[in-house]
Amino acid sequence: MRDLLGLSPLDVARAVRDVAPEPFRAAQVLKWIYERRAADFAEMTNLPKAMREALAKDFVIGLPNVVSRTPTSDGTEKFLFELSDGARVEAVYIVESKKAPSWTDPETPGASRVTICLSSQAGCAVDCVFCVTGRMGAGRNLTAGEIVGQYLAIARAKSFGPHEANVVFMGMGEPLLNVANVVRALDLLDEEVSPKRVTVSTAGVVPGIEALAGRPRRPNLAVSLSGADDATRTKLMPINRTYPLAELFAALKRWPLERGRRITFEYVLIAGVNDTLAAAAKLAALVRPLPSKVNLIPLNESKEWLPGLKRPSDAVVNAFAKAVADDGVPVTVRRSKGLQADAACGQLKGREEPARPKGPRAP
Ligand code: SF4
């Protein structure tokens, strides 16, 4: 049985031509899969019954199995998926106010928007100190079909249509260590979600940034920084040894930003580690030469997975944010959605019951 999910339109047309020879049939099948969220050929009611049955004999639409759904009172819902080889990944449905809360204006309500946070790998080898996924160790790259499948399965479950959601690659894994499949997934989602509404978040994989920079239609770029000097950043994000700040920022300077767009720098704030006013000044000085904004993420604590790491107090977070803003850099504080369901930033682990963490870890 061949999976149609993840194939390009041309490859779908080639694959189905023996059972659906008219050229428009492949387009119909694709429309059912991507726009109408079909999970089965039997749902494709504008195809002749015999054709639907013939398709079902040879092909599948490989949506991932939903193992569990964990909703929270803030509207966020975490989906745990099982893939065809048994690997498990998580993706998150997030509803948020259109006006992002900022440190100056923390709770302004507005119209809601939907964001889907997708995983790109089952596990992650990058091993950022503050991230539960990183504590699980390396997994495998997801295929383009497995990435797109998370989106379509959630769209089907939550009944939203094309152009109604943003997509962020901030789930499990480092997207730019799986750049070929992420790019293929972006191409498949192109009709569904414009690149302006997609954000790829990277720990700073320079070759991946360069690969994305070469695309004619680029997503927004978010870079996880969390340290504004090499010594601090290497302690928190070992990938900084491979791509130190000078090399990373040289690549970011070459990133072709469209007018009005900015690079987002994510900064996980950890008490006593990177949360001083001096660190804030260093951060602002580092990112200010680029069109940039800073997204501060107070650590999502986990006694079990991130022992010894503490979230700074709100007063420290606000003072840090104010210092960055006073230095001329737009700044927001992410009040993480989904904390009740362990669905917030850095908490995804692809399993219902936590397994034993790798061991104590401190920066
Ligand atoms: S923050 Fe991202 S890159 Fe770092 S360990 Fe977690 S999933 Fe991997």
Cα(109) to centroid of ligand 1, in Å? 30
CA of 201 to the centre of ligand 1 (A): 9
For a ligand 1 pocket test, name from 90, 119, 131 the mutation site with the most ligand atoms within 8 angstroms of its C-beta: 131
CATH number 1.10.150.530 is the correct assignment for the domain at 2-60: yes
Ligand 1 atom nearest to 130, measured from its CA:
1
Q: What average pLDDT does this structure show over 114-134?
A: 91
Q: Atom 4 in ligand 1: which residue has the minimum CA distance?
A: 128
Separation between Cα atoms, residue 279 and residue 86, nearest integer Å: 43
**Counting atoms of ligand 1 from 1, which one is nearest the CA of 124?**
8
Q: Which of 22, 146, 345, 353 is catalytic?
A: 345
Q: What is the pLDDT of residues 78-113, one digit of tens each?
A: 999 999 999 999 999 998 766 544 444 444 445 578
Look up tokens 């010894």; give the residue: 308
Closest ligand 1 atom number to CA of residue 171: 7
pLDDT at 111: 59
Output the CA 170–ligand 1 centroid distance in Å: 8
CB 147 within 8 A of CB 91: no
From 90, 146, 192, 266, the catalytic residue: 90
Identify the residue with better confidence: 116 or 340: 116
Give the amino acid at 327.
D
Could you give the residue ranges of the DSSP H alpha helices within 205-258?
A: 206-213, 230-236, 239-242, 245-254
Give pLDDT, residue 113.
Answer: 87
Establish whether 90 is a catalytic residue.
yes
CA distance 289 to 223: 15
Banded model confidence at residue 180, pLDDT cuts 50, 70, 90 = very high
Other beta carbons within 10 angstroms of residue 311's beta carbon come to: 17
Q: Which atom of ligand 1 lies closest to the CA of 224? A: 1
> Which tens digits make up the pLDDT trace of 7-55?
999 999 999 999 999 989 999 999 999 999 999 999 999 999 999 999 9
- Percent of the chain at pLDDT above 70? 88
Pocket around ligand 1 at a 6 A CB cut-off: 124, 126-128, 131, 133-134, 172-174, 203, 224, 346
Confidence of residue 344 (pLDDT cuts 50, 70, 90): low
Question: Rounded to an integer, what distance in angstroms lies between the CA atom of residue 210 and that of residue 218?
Answer: 11
Would you call 128 a catalytic residue per the annotation?
Answer: no
- Residue 86, classified by CB atoms within 10 Å of its CB into exposed (0-12), middle (13-18) or buried (19+), is exposed
CA distances from 287 to 54, 178, 332 (A): 56, 26, 14
Residue 279 DSSP SS3: helix
The pLDDT tens digits of the residues spanning 286-297 come to 999 999 999 999
User: Closest Cα partner for 232 from 289, 277, 279, 189?
Assistant: 279
Name the residue of 128, 129, 240 to mutate for ligand 1: max ligand atoms within 8 A of Cβ: 128
CA of 266 relative to ligand 1 center, distance in Å: 12
Buried b (16+ CB within 10 A) or exposed e, 339-362: bebbbbbbbbbbeeeeeebeeebe
Helix (H/G/I), strand (E/B), else coil: 71? strand
pLDDT per residue as tens digits for the range 255-278 = 999 889 999 999 999 999 999 999
H helical segments located in the chain: 9-16, 23-30, 49-58, 132-136, 144-158, 179-188, 206-213, 230-236, 239-242, 245-254, 277-287, 314-326
Give the angle 359-361-363 at the CA atoms, nearest 5°: 170
Q: What is the pLDDT of residue 359?
A: 45
Q: Please compute the mean of the pLDDT values over residues 324-342 and round it to a whole number.
A: 83
Ligand 1 centroid to residue 31 C-alpha, Å: 34
The closest of 61, 82, 88 to 7, measured between CA atoms, is 61
Domain boundaries, the chain: 2-60, 65-341
Tokens 């009005």: give the residue: 260
Point out the ligand 1 atom lying closest to the alpha carbon of residue 132.
6
Nearest-CA residue for atom 3 of ligand 1: 174
Cα(172) to ligand 1 centroid in Å equals 7
Tell me the CATH number for domain 65-341.
Answer: 3.20.20.70
Minimum CA distance residue for ligand 1 atom 5: 134
pLDDT digits (tens, 9 = 90+) for 190-229: 888 988 999 999 999 999 999 999 998 899 999 999 999 9
Tokens of 264: 């987002």
Give the integer Cα–Cα distance in Å for 115 and 343: 13
